[in-house]
Amino acid sequence: MFELGLIGLLTRRNVIFTLMSIEVMLNAAGLAFVAAGARWGQADGQVMFLFILGMAAAEVSVGLALVVRLHRLYKSVDTDSASILRG
Amino acid sequence: MFARSCRSEAIMLPAFYISAVIAIIGTVLTITRLHAVHALLYLVISLLAVATVFYTIGAPFVAALEVIVYAGAIMVLFIFVMMLLNIGSRAVHMERAWLDAKAWIGPALLAAILTAELIYILIAGRSGAVGINGVGPQQVGISLYGPYVLGVEMVSMLLLAGIVGAYHLGRNAPGEVESVDDIESGLQRAVAGGDLVRAGSDRPAHTP
C-alpha cells in the first residue's frame, strides 16, 4: 500500500536517519505480511511479522552500536566520513 | 469469528483509513525533518498508527507487539543513542529551545487524532475487522510453535548474535583512548557542520 512512499527514502546522509529508514521499510514489509495474512485468514502472516520484529530488534542494536563507534572515531555521524576502510 | 456484522465493518473501515493516512503523514514528516529528535517523534507516531492499522485489520496480538517492541524498545534505543551523542553544557539550553510549540504541536496533533480514534473504536463496540476475518492470538501461537518452531529458534539465535555483536562494538578497545573531552574533539565537532545534534557542537573544551 504505502511501501512505495517508504522505500524511496534512503536519501539522507545521516546514519541515524538511515537506520530509521530501515525501520520504516521493515515495518512496511511486516504490514504487507499481516495484511495478506488477514486477507486470507491465515496466521502465517503474523508469524512472519514476529520474525521481522526480532530481526529488526537485533539489527537496530548492532546498528546503533556501530553509530556510537563511528561517532567516537570521527566525531560525526555523516555517512561519507566512514567511506575509507582500513584495517 | 467469520461472521462480522455490517455495523462493525462500518466502524472499522473509516478507522482503518484514518490511521493509514496518519501513518503515511508521519512517515513523510519523519524523513523530511532536519532535526533527529523531531524525526523520532514523527516516527513514533507513524509506528503507533501502523499498530492501529493492525488492530483494525483484525490482528490485535501483532498490534500489541508493535506498540511494545517498536514504539517502546527500539525507540528507547534510538533516544538513548541520541542523548549519548550530545553530551555538552549547551545541551540544556538546546533542550529548552526544543520545547517550544512548533516542535511538538505536530506529533501531538497526530497522536490526539489516533487517541480519539481508539476511544471511538472502544466505545463503539467489540473489535472487528474490515471485511475480512481476523486472526486471533491463539491461532498465531499455535502456528508459531507448530510448523514454525525452527524459525523461532533461528530468531533466538539471531537475537543472541545481536546482543554479542552490540556489546563487542560498543565497548572500548583496550588501547583506545577515550578522546571525547580533548580540545581537538570540540574543534572537529564544530567544523563538522553536519552533526546529528547541534547541541554539543560548540561547547567549550573544558566541560566534562
**Average pLDDT per consecutive 10 residues, chain B (208 residues; last block may be shorter):** 50 77 81 76 86 82 86 84 66 62 74 82 63 66 79 87 84 54 42 43 43
- Residue B8's pLDDT is 58
Which cell goes with B172? Answer: 572500548
Give how many domains chain A has, as a whole number: 1
- Judged by CB atoms closer than 8 Å, whether chains meet at B162 and A59 is answered as yes
Contact B166 A65 (CB under 8 A): yes
d(CA B126, CA B129): 10
Model pLDDT, residue A57? 85
Domain of A73?
3-79
Interchain CB contact of A73 with B (< 8 Å): no
Q: How many CB pairs under 8 A join A and B?
A: 175
Listed as ranges, residues in chain A with pLDDT below 50 are 5, 8, 10-11, 86-87
pLDDT of residue B203: 44
Distance (Å) from the alpha carbon of A84 to chain B's nearest alpha carbon: 17
Strand, helix or coil for residue B198: helix
A-chain residue closest to B187, CA distance: A75
Predicted confidence at residue B86, as pLDDT, reads 65
Q: Rounded to the nearest 5°, which phi and psi values hold at B207?
A: -75, 145
Q: Which of B34, B57, B67, B81 to mutate to test the interface with A (most CBs of A within 10 A)?
A: B81
Instruction: Look at residue B133 in the predicted model and tell me its pLDDT.
Output: 58
Q: Is residue A85 part of a domain?
A: no
Closest Cα of chain B to A13: distance in Å?
A: 9
CB < 8 Å & 24+ apart, contacts of A76-82: A76/B188, A76/B189, A76/B192, A76/B194, A76/B195, A77/A14, A77/A15, A77/A16, A77/B85, A77/B195, A77/B196, A78/A13, A78/A14, A78/A15, A78/B192, A78/B194, A79/A13, A79/A14, A79/A15, A79/A18, A80/A13, A81/B192
Q: What is the pLDDT of residue B147?
A: 81
Integer Cα distance of B62 and B67 in angstroms? 9
Q: What is the CATH number of the domain that holds A38?
A: 1.10.287.3510
Per-residue pLDDT, B195: 43
Instruction: Spell out a b/e string for B164-185, using b for 16 or more CB atoms within 10 Å of the CB, else e.
Output: ebbeebbeeeeeeeeeeeeeeb
A9 and chain B in contact, CB less than 8 A: yes
Q: What is the Cβ-side half-sphere exposure of residue B64, based on CA atoms within 13 angstroms?
A: 4
Q: Are B69 and B51 in contact (CB under 8 A)?
A: no
CATH of B6-135, one of 3.30.300.30, 1.10.10.10, 2.130.10.10, 1.20.120.1200: 1.20.120.1200
A39 close to B (CB below 8 A): yes
Position B95 scores a pLDDT of 62
pLDDT of residue A2: 52
Contact B135 A60 (CB under 8 A): no
**A86 occurs within a structural domain:** no
